[in-house]
Amino acid sequence: MLDKTKRDWWKSAVFYQIYPKSFQDTNGDGVGDLRGIIGRLDYLEKLGVDGIWLSPVYASPHKDNGYDISDYRAIHPLFGTMADMDELLAEANRRGLTIIMDLVLNHSSDQHPWFLEAKSGRDNPYHDYYIWRDGTPDCPPNDMKAVFGGSAWTYVPELGQYYFNQFSPWQPDLNWENPTLRRELYDMIRFWVDKGVGGFRLDAIDKLGKDPDRGASGNCPRLHEYMRELRREAFREDTLVTVGEAWGTGVEEAKQYANSDGSELSMIFQFEHTFLDQVDKWGKIPLPLVKLKRCYEQWQHGLAGRGWNSLFLNNHDLPRIVSRWGDDGTYRMESAKMLAMMCHGMQGTPYIYQGEELGMTNIRLSIEAYDDLEIKNHFQEELAKGRTPEEIMPSIYTWGRDNARTPMQWTGGDWAGFSTVKPWLPVNPNYMEINVESALADPDSVFYFYQKLIALRKRYPVFRDGSFTLLDPEDGSCCAYTRDTAGEHLLIVCNFTAEEQPEICPEAFRGAEVLLCNYRDAAGPLRPYEARMLYQKA
Ligand code: TEU
Ligand code: CA
C-alpha cells in the first residue's frame, strides 16, 4: 500500500472514476447510490486502485446530473444521506482508498439559495456572487455561446439584467472576483476535508478566471492567482490530491497549474489527445495516430521534471475508448487491452473510468431514450437547422455523453445486476457478454489486464520516474515508446490496426523480460491490436 502521508504519493497512484448514478443501485429505484459504492469497495480493492474520484453527489436539481449544485454541503437524497457518505469515507479510508470529490466551483445551480437571493434584487448581498450585465430582452451583452447550446446570457426581466452562464441557463457562473464568495467556497472545501476527503477534482477549472466582456471564457489573467489562493486557503495539506479539469489547456499553461513547487494543483486533466479525431465537436475523422503520438510526446516531455501528467482515455463526458480508438467487435478484448497499456505505460497518474476495465462499449438509443442535456440540445438545434433525425443520430452515437453513462454491467442477470428495476438509462444490450462476473471468471479478461498494469506500476519505479522516448514517430500503424532511468528500461509496443505489423524491438531489448502481452506470447510480427511490454535492468 502507498504511504499516503508522503507529499506527492499520488504520483505512484491509480484512480478510478465512479459516476454514482450508474454504478450500483441498492434500494431499487433504478439509480445508483452511495450504499452501492460501499458494497463494491471489495471489487475496487481487487482491481488494485488507490483512490476513487466520485462524480458529484451533492444536492442538485440534476439538470446536468449533479454538475449543477444547489447545496455544496448536502448529499442528494437519490444517493443517500450524509451518514452514508460518512460511512463510505470511513470504509474507503480503512481500505486505503482515497476519496476525491468532484467540486464544481465555476457555477452553481440556478436553484442554489445564493442564486435565488441574487436574482431577487440588485441590492441583495448575493447579487454580486454571480455575473450580471444590464440589457434589454432582445439584446444580450454579446454573442457568446453556452457549451450546451444557446446564448451564454440569460435575461431576468425583473432585474432588467442578464446573467452569465457558460454551460446552460441552469448553471449560472459564479463571480470569482467577489472575495466573500471565494471565502465561502474555501470554508465549504474545509468542511469536506475535515470529513476525511483526500482530494478534489475541480470541474471546468480553466473557466474560473473569465472576461465575458472580451468574449473570453477560459484561462484569463486572474486564474492562477485563484489557484494559488485555493491552495493556500482550502487545500492546505500537502498530501491532498487536486486535479483540475481544463479542456482548453496546452502544455505551457499546464506547467503553471501543475508546477512541481506545489503552489497550485497536483495535476490537470488536459484534452488535447481527445480532439484529434474530432471536428467541430460532433464530427468524426479517423484517428491520426502520428499526431496522437506527437501529442503524447509533447506532454510527456513538456511536464517531465516540471509538473505532472494525468493519464486517461475515458470519463463521463467522452465516448467509450474501445469503440472510439479500438475495435468493439472482433478485437474488443485485444484492443481494449492495447489501449490500456499504451496509456498506463506513460509518466503520470492514470485514471480508469468505471467499466473501462471491462472493455465496455458505446450504445445506440432512440433519441427519446437519451437523458443528457447536451445530446438533447444538440438534436433540437440541428433539427432547427433543417437536418433530419437520420442525419443527426450518427453524431450522437459517436460522441453522445450517455455512451459512458449507461449502467455498470455487473452480471448477466436482470438489468446487468445494476438494479432490480428498469434503470434511469438503458443497460447496454451486450451486458450478457460484457460484465464483471464473467470478467472475474476469465483469467484473460480485460479486468485482469488492468489489474496487472496497476500492479506493475507499483512494482517498478521506472513507471513513475522514467524518461519518455517515442520510437518511429512517423509510423502510422503502431505506437512504441521506451521509458528509461539509470537502472531500468521499459519498452511498450502497441499495434493500432487489425492487420499484422512488422515486429518492433530495439536491439537493447532483445531477450528482455516480457512483463505483459495481450496474446499468449510476445514474439515475431505484431498480431492485430497486439500490445507488448518488455523490461530490462540496466
Ligand atoms: O465538463 C466541462 C466541459 O467543458 C464539458 O462540458 C465538455 O465541453 C462537454 O462535456 C463535451 O461533451 C465538466 C463536466 O465534466 C461535465 O460533465 C459538466 O457537464 C460540465 O463541466 C458542466 O459542469
Ligand atoms: Ca438507488
The CA distance from 68 to 161, in Å, is: 22
Cα 203 to ligand 1 centre (Å): 8
Q: Which of 67, 268, 318, 377 to mutate for ligand 1's pocket (most ligand atoms within 8 Å of CB)?
A: 67
Which residue out of 68, 203, 272, 357 is catalytically annotated?
Answer: 203
- 426 SS3 class: coil
DSSP alpha helix (H) spans, 196-331:
223-233, 251-257, 272-275, 289-303, 321-324
* ∠ CA 489-490-494, rounded to 5°: 155
Answer whether 264 contacts ligand 1 (Cβ < 6 A).
no
* Distance from residue 387's CA to the centre of ligand 2 (Å): 38
Give the residue, out of 167, 201, 206, with the most ligand 1 atoms within 8 A of its beta carbon, to mutate for a pocket test: 167
Neighbours of 94 (CB within 10 A): 9
Cα–Cα distance for residue pair 185/188, rounded to 1 Å: 5
Residue 412 to residue 434: CA distance in whole angstroms:
8
Amino acid at 179: P
The answer to whether the beta carbons of residues 520 and 508 sit under 8 Å apart is: no
DSSP string, 118-162: HTT-TTSTTGGGB-EEE-BTTB-SS--B-TTSSBSEEEETTTTEE
270's grid cell: 488536459
Best of 147, 271, 281, 371 to mutate for ligand 1, by most ligand atoms within 8 A of CB?
147
Q: Residue 349 has which C-alpha cell?
A: 497518474
Nearest CA owner, ligand 1 atom 23 = 67
| Dihedral of the alpha carbons of 451, 453, 455, 458, in degrees to the nearest 10 | -150
H/E run at residue 396? helix 389-399
Cα 484 to averaged position of ligand 2 atoms, centre (Å)? 47
CA–CA distances in Å: residue 126 to residues 47, 67, 178, 210:
46, 21, 10, 19
What spacing in Å lies between the alpha carbon of 362 and ligand 1's midpoint?
18
**Cα 83 to the center of its chain, rounded Å:** 27
Alpha carbon separation from 49 to 14, 239, 245 (Å, rounded):
5, 17, 21
Write down the catalytic residue from 25, 102, 173, 245.
Answer: 245
Residue 217: name the closest of 108, 127, 131 by CA: 131
State if residue 317 touches ligand 1 by the CB under 6 angstroms criterion: yes
DSSP letter string over 346-408? Answer: SSSEEEEETTGGGT-------GGG---HHHHHHHHHHHHTT--HHHHHHHHHHH-GGGTTSPP
Q: Ligand 1 pocket, 64 CB below 6 A?
A: yes
Kindly report, residue by residue over 29-83, the tens digit of the pLDDT.
999 999 999 999 999 999 999 999 999 999 999 999 999 999 999 999 999 999 9
Bridge partners (DSSP) listed for residue 145 = 151
Query: Per-residue confidence of the chain (538 residues) as pLDDT tens digits?
Result: 899 999 999 999 999 999 999 999 999 999 999 999 999 999 999 999 999 999 999 999 999 999 999 999 999 999 999 999 999 999 999 999 999 999 999 999 999 999 999 999 999 999 999 999 999 999 999 999 999 999 999 999 999 999 999 999 999 999 999 999 999 999 999 999 999 999 999 999 999 988 899 887 777 789 999 999 999 999 999 999 999 999 999 999 999 999 999 999 999 999 999 999 999 999 999 999 999 999 999 999 999 999 999 999 999 999 999 999 999 999 999 999 999 999 999 999 999 999 999 999 999 999 999 999 999 999 999 999 999 999 999 999 999 999 999 999 999 999 999 999 999 999 999 999 999 999 999 999 999 999 999 999 999 999 999 999 999 999 999 999 999 999 999 999 999 999 999 999 999 999 999 999 999 999 999 999 999 999 999 8
Three-class secondary structure of residue 412 per DSSP: coil
Q: Which strands form 132-134's sheet, in the order they lie side by side? A: 132-134, 161-164, 153-156
pLDDT at 19: 98
- Please name the helix (run of DSSP H) or strand (run of DSSP E) that holds residue 181, with its range, or none: helix 179-195
Q: Note the ligand closest to the C-alpha atom of 76.
A: 2
Could you give the CA distance from residue 154 to residue 157 in angstroms, rounded to a whole number? 10
Contacts of 17 (CB under 8 A, 6+ apart): 52, 53, 55, 315, 316, 351, 352, 353, 354
- pLDDT at site 128: 98
Ligand nearest to the Cα of 399, by number: 1
Q: Cβ(53) to ligand 1 under 6 A?
A: no
Q: Is the CB of 167 under 6 A from ligand 1?
A: yes
The alpha carbon torsion through 514, 515, 516, 519 (nearest 10 deg) reads 20
Radius of gyration (C-alpha) of the chain in whole angstroms = 23
Which ligand 1 atom lies nearest to the CA of residue 204? 2
The β-bridge partners of 469 are: 482
Does the active-site annotation cover 245?
A: yes
Q: Assess whether the C-beta atom of 401 lies below 6 angstroms from ligand 1.
A: yes
* Sheet of strand 513-517: strand arrangement: 467-471, 478-484, 488-495, 531-537, 513-517
> Which ligand places an atom closest to the C-alpha of 60?
1
- What was the pLDDT predicted at 218? 76
> Is residue 203 annotated as a catalytic residue, yes or no?
yes
Q: Is 372 in the pocket of ligand 1 (CB under 6 A)?
A: no
**What is the 108 CA–ligand 1 centroid distance (Å)?**
14
- What is the rounded distance in angstroms from the CA atom of residue 218 to the CA atom of residue 225? 14
Helix (H) or strand (E) holding 344: helix 332-344
Ligand 1: which residue has its CA nearest to atom 9?
317
